[in-house]
Amino acid sequence: MILNPAKRELLAAELLEAEGLSPEGRSLTKDAMRRLCRNKAAVVSIVVLALLILAAFIGPYLIPHNYEDPDWAAFRAPPSWEDGHYFGTDPNGRDLLARVLYGTRVSLAVAFVATLVSVVIGVLYGAISGYFGGRLDSIMMRFVDIMYALPYILFVILLMVIFGRNVYLLFAAIGALEWLTMARIVRGQTLSLKNREFIEAARASGQKPLKIITKHIIPNLVGPVVIFAALTVPEIIATESFLSYLGFGVQEPLTSLGTLIAEGTDAMESMPWLLVFPAIFLVSLLLSLLFIGDGLRDAFDPKDR
Amino acid sequence: MLDQTSSAPTLLKVENLTTQFEIEAKSFFKKPSVLTAVNDVSFELKEGRTLGIVGESGCGKSTLGRSILQLIRAQKGRVVWQGKNLLDLSEEQIRMARRDMQIIFQDPIASLDPRMTVGDIIAEPLTVFEPKLSRSERLQRVQDIMAAVGLVPEMINRYPHEFSGGQAQRIGIARAVITRPKLIVCDEPVSALDVSIQGQVITLLRKLRKEFGLTLIFISHDLSVVRLISDDVLVLYLGRIVEAGDCATVFSAPAHPYTQALFSAAPIPDPKLARQRSRIRLQGDPPSPMNPPPGCPFQPRCWKATDICRTKMPPTELVRAGQSAACYHMDLPAEA
C-alpha cells in the first residue's frame, strides 16, 4: 500500500473525483444540518421563527405607533385598516401590534438569555461530574437532587426581590435554576462517552483531563445539548408567560407575550382581539421552536428514527 | 527471563504486576468482590524486540497491556520504565511519560473521535508534547507520518466515519507513532479487520518497527498473527503467565498443557495437515477470575492434573534456554 509519490498523487486525484467530493470532509454536524433541511416541518418552522424574530426586532421601527404612548383618538379600538391600528388598541389606547411585537422581542430575549445560562452551567457541571466520577460525582449530583427538591416558585419569588428591576437579570437567574435537567442529561451522556475507546486514546496521548472534557466530551455532546436547548427555549417562554400572568414577570409599560395574554383574558368578552393576537404569536413561536427541536433530534440521531 | 541471548538493553521490566477490580456487591450486606484480572505477572522486554501476548478471551491480555501503560492503575508489583516504577508516579508524571509509550486499539473506528478531522486526531499527541511547534511544522509532521503509514495526505480534512477499518487503523497507528515513542502496546490491532487488510497492517507495523526502532507489545488471540510478528511470546491464562519464551521455541515445542491445547485449536490453512494432527479438546470454560480454583488455575480443565496441582500453584521453571513454564507435569525436552 505504500505507493510512490507520483502514483499516489494520481490515485488521490482519481479518488476525489470518483466520489465527487472536495478534499474537505463531511463532518457529522454538516450531515445533521443536511438531514434537518430535508425535514419539511423543521424548515417551515425555521422560516416562521426567522420571520417572528425579524418582526420582533425590526417591526417596531416600521409601524407608526409606539408601544407605550396612548393614541388619544382610539381607546379600545377594534382592529381596523383605516386608522393604522391593525391589531386594535388596548383600554389605554396603546397600539396592540406594537405591543405584541415588543412583547415577542422581550419573550424571545428572555428565553435565549435563560437558555444560554442553563446550557453553559449544565454542560460544564454535568461533564465534570460525569467524567471525574466517584465521590465528586456523588456530591455534585446530590446537590442537584437537593436543588430539584426545593420549590421552584419560591426561588423565583426570592430572585424577584433581588432582581425585580431588571427582567434580563431575572431570567439569567432563572436560567441558573433551569440547568438541573441539562446537567443530568449531560452527565448521563458523559458516562457513556468516557468509556469509549477514543477517550482512552486521548488519555493515552497524554491529554489533560480538562482538555479531554473540552476537546472530546463536549463536542460529542452537541446532539443532545442542541436538542435539549431547543426544547428549553419554549419552556422558558411558557414559564415567563406564567410568571407574567401571575404578575411576577415584566413590569409596565414594558410587556411580554405572557403579560399581554393575561390582560387579554380579562377583557376576553368585550375586546377579544387583545387575547387573540398575542395568543397567535405565542402559539406559533412555541410550535415552531418545538418542531425545530424535534427536527434537530431526528437530524442528530438518525438511528433513532 | 525471556531471552538471555539478546544483548540489547532492557526497555521495560514488569515485576509481579497484579491488577484487580472491585465488583460492587449485589446486596447491600455483602462485601464487594474482587476480580483479579492480572495476577503476579513478571517479564522483561529488551529494546527493539516484539513481545506477543496470547490467550483466550477474558484471560487479561488487554488489562495487562493497559496496566503496563497505567491506563488502568495496577494494585501491586512494579513496572520499571526508564528507571522509574510507573506505579509510584503521579497522574501528571505518567501523563508526561506517555510521550514514549503509546497504544493502538482493537476497534479502529471507535478509537477515533468522530467529531475531529483526521489531521487533528493524528496531531493530538503533538499538541500535548510539542506545543511549541508552529502550525505549518505540525502540518508537515502530520503529512509525513500519514505518508509513512500509507494514507493519502489529501484526506487530512476528512472525518473518521468516511474511512474503512483498515484506513482507520492506519490513522490510529499514525497517531501512536507521531511522537516517536519507544514502546507501543498493540491491543489486538488487527482482529477487527478482514484477513487481507490484517496482512497489510502487520506489514506496516513491521516496517515502522524497523524504521522507528520500536519495541512492540502485541496482544492477540490469533496465534498465526503473533507468530508472524513476535520475537518473544507470553501465554496468559486467567491473568497468570503459564508459559513464556522466544517465539520459535514456544511454537515448535510448547511445554505447558494449556499452551499445547491452545496451539492445537489454532486453524491450519492446509486441510490435509489439519486432518492429520491430533486436536486436544478441553472440557468446560475457563473458571471465573472472581473465584479462581485452588492451586494451578488450569487444573480443573487439565488432563494431566494430579493432587499437587489442586493444592499448590506450580512455580515457573526453565524448560530449556529461552523457554519457561509453570506446570508440574510439563513436557521436558528428551535430553533433560
Interface contact B204-A198, CB threshold 8 A: no
Contacts of A202 in chain B (CB under 8 A): 113, 124
Domains of chain B: 10-326 (3.40.50.300)
Complete domains list, chain A, with CATH: 27-304 (1.10.3720.10)
**What ipTM describes this predicted complex?**
0.84
Helices (H), chain B: 61-68, 91-97, 118-129, 135-148, 165-177, 195-212, 223-229, 247-252, 257-265, 271-276, 307-311
pTM, full prediction: 0.79
Question: Strand pairing of B33-46 and B10-23?
Answer: antiparallel
Contacts of A207 in chain B (CB under 8 A): 124, 128
pLDDT tier, B1 (very low <50, low <70, confident <90, very high otherwise)? very low
User: How confident is the model over B240-265, as pLDDT tens digits?
Assistant: 899 999 988 888 888 888 888 888 88
The candidate with the shortest Cα–Cα distance to B216, out of B46, B86, B72, is B46
Question: Along the 305 residues of chain A, how does pLDDT read in single tens digits?
Answer: 455 666 666 666 666 555 545 556 667 777 788 888 888 888 899 999 998 888 888 877 777 777 777 776 766 667 776 776 777 777 777 777 888 888 888 888 888 888 899 999 999 999 999 999 889 999 999 999 998 888 877 877 787 777 766 777 777 777 877 888 899 999 999 999 988 889 999 999 888 999 999 999 988 888 888 888 888 887 888 788 777 777 777 777 778 887 788 788 887 777 778 788 888 888 888 888 888 888 887 787 655 44
Mind telling me how many Å the CA of A220 is from chain B's nearest CA?
A: 7
| Amino acid A305: pLDDT | 41
Q: What distance in Å separates the CA atoms of residue B329 and residue B333, rounded to the nearest whole number?
A: 12
pLDDT confidence band for B4 (50 / 70 / 90): very low
Best mutation site among B112, B154, B169 for testing chain A: the one with the most A CBs within 10 Å?
A: B154
Residue B2 above 60 pLDDT?
no
pLDDT of residue A113: 87
Asked if residue B142 has pLDDT above 90, the reply is yes
Chain-centroid distance of CA B211 in Å reads 21
Tell if the CB–CB gap between B111 and A208 is shorter than 8 Å. no
CB B159 to CB A25 under 8 A?
Answer: yes
Within 8 A by CB and 6+ apart from A131, the residues are A190, A194, A209, A212, A213, A217
- Cβ contacts below 8 Å, chain A against chain B, sum to 96
Distance between CA atoms of residues A16 and B116, nearest Å: 20
Whether residues B113 and A216 touch (CB distance < 8 A) is answered with yes
Torsion of CA B175, B177, B183, B184, to 10 degrees: 50
pLDDT of res. B333: 64
Task: Check CB contact under 8 Å for B110 and A196.
Answer: yes
Type of residue numbered B216 = L
Show residues of chain A in contact with B117, CB under 8 Å: 25, 27
Predicted confidence at residue A224, as pLDDT, reads 84
Q: How far apart are CA B47 and CA B213, in angstroms?
A: 8
Is residue A202 less than 8 Å (CB to CB) from chain B? yes
Cβ–Cβ of B128/A206 closer than 8 Å?
yes
**CA–CA min distance A223, chain B (Å):** 11
